[in-house]
Structure 1
Amino acid sequence: MLVSLVAGVGFGLSLIIAIGAQNAFVLRQGLRREHVFAVVAVCALSDVLLIAVGVGGLGSLIQAAPWLLDTMTIGGAAFLIVYGLLAARRAFRPSAIDADAAGKPTSLRTAVTTCLALTWLNPHVYLDTVILLGSVAGSHGDDRWWFGLGAAIGSIVWFTVLGYGARALRPLFAKPAAWRVLDALIAVVMFAIAASLLRGVG
């Protein structure tokens, strides 16, 4: 039981600690101190649900319907391209935190909607969390739910640390140049992920 729980924490963290669209958004909201709790909660709860689906064995349904994954891939790539373009535009018009909180304030609805889109329209989430994690959890037999619990704990801890820990970087982002670099990096990440998704269609 304990071995599966610890293994789940480690495996779950290995899947989400990479620079990606979702992490970049959480980091940016954390730096802005804007709707951090809501964004962290949406990401963590979404992961918990997806992990439960994967451990429950529903990953086989996605594998059996490749057209469904292709549809999500195209939609997710389109969203990432749009979000990347917005980040690129911000990179050309950076603002310091002390000036206007690095841009116009984002409404709670917009922040949550964007977070949901970055999470649920990303096919990598289903491939990694539902199919891959679900398969590894299955190898733990009767302890697979302990493995899933460990992965869920890892996800909750990661998003909490990322969202609230970003505040420690605020002094660095008091300068417009730092926001220019961050938004340029976010744009590159979004475009790169979108390109990789589209290459896998079909």
Structure 2
Amino acid sequence: MLTSYLTGLLVCGGIIIAIGAQNAYILGQAIRREHHWKCAGICMSADILLFTAGMFGVNAALMALPEALEILRWLGVVFLGWLAVLAFSRVARGRDALDANTKAVSSARAVILTTLAVTLLNPQVYLDTLLLIPAIGAQQSSALGFVAGASSASVIWFGLLAFSGAALSPWLAKPSAWRVIDGTIGGMMAAIAIHLASNGL
């Protein structure tokens, strides 16, 4: 069970930290200290629910149709490869830093609705939680341990975003910092894609 837990923690952690609309929004709220813990809690809860539903649903499907495993494997390779390409393209062109000096204060209702939108209206969330992560988890000895690891990765990551956003604001004021972040993300996604292509799920 410990191996499954650690696999879920590391694999899901590598995917979750890919800076996208959801993470960038939460980080911006944390930097401005506007309901950032509410944002983090929503994202944690959504991930845990989707991990659980996807994990046990895909497990049952793979037991009934084992040949689907190869399809899931190569879909995962393509998807992770695409994430790596996007990250490296952001490194090449750069992107704006978050504005830590914004003074406007958003209402809790507006922040919650926006967090739900960037979480549930993003197709990448469903590809991650209902396809890629459960496909890897289906090969683990303990499905429950893998889900616990995946859920822990979500709690740790979003908790860190909410807690450290304000402290990191001077660093994130530099666009060059985003190049380092995106480069790291691209490298991680490419490494996981190569591993899946070479060794399977």
Structure 1 residue aligned with 2:125: 125
Distance 1:19 1:161 in 2: 13
* Structure 1 residue 95 displacement after superposition: 7.1
TM-score, normalised relative to structure 2: 0.64
Distance 1:122 1:158 in 2: 18
Deviations 1:152-173 (A, max 9, x none): 0011000000121111123457
Deviations 1:34-85 (A, max 9, x none): 101101100111111110111111596xx9xxxxxxxxxxxxxxxxxxxxxx
Deviations 1:68-124 (A, max 9, x none): xxxxxxxxxxxxxxxxxxxxxxx8xx9763xxxx04211111111111111111111
Distance 2:100 2:57 in 1: 47
The total of aligned residue pairs comes to 143
One-letter amino acid of the structure 2 residue matched with residue 161 of structure 1: L
Map 1:1-202; keep pairs closer than 5 Å: 1-57=1-57, 97=101, 102-141=102-141, 143-171=142-170, 178=173
Structure 1 residue aligned with 2:196: none
Structure 2 residue aligned with 1:81: none
One-letter amino acid of the structure 1 residue matched with residue 158 of structure 2: F
Runs of 5+ consecutive residues of structure 1 not aligned to the other structure: 64-90, 186-202
- What is the identity percentage for the equivalent residue pairs of Structure 1 and Structure 2? 37
Q: Which runs of 4+ in 1 moved over 6 A?
A: none
Question: The residue matched to 1:106 in structure 2 has which SS?
Answer: coil
Distance 1:18 1:45 in 2: 18
Question: The residue matched to 1:57 in structure 2 has which SS?
Answer: helix
Runs of 5+ consecutive residues of structure 2 not aligned to the other structure: 62-67, 69-95, 180-201
Distance 2:99 2:146 in 1: 43
Distance 2:126 2:99 in 1: 35
Question: What is the root-mean-square deviation in Å for CA atoms of aligned residues?
Answer: 2.7
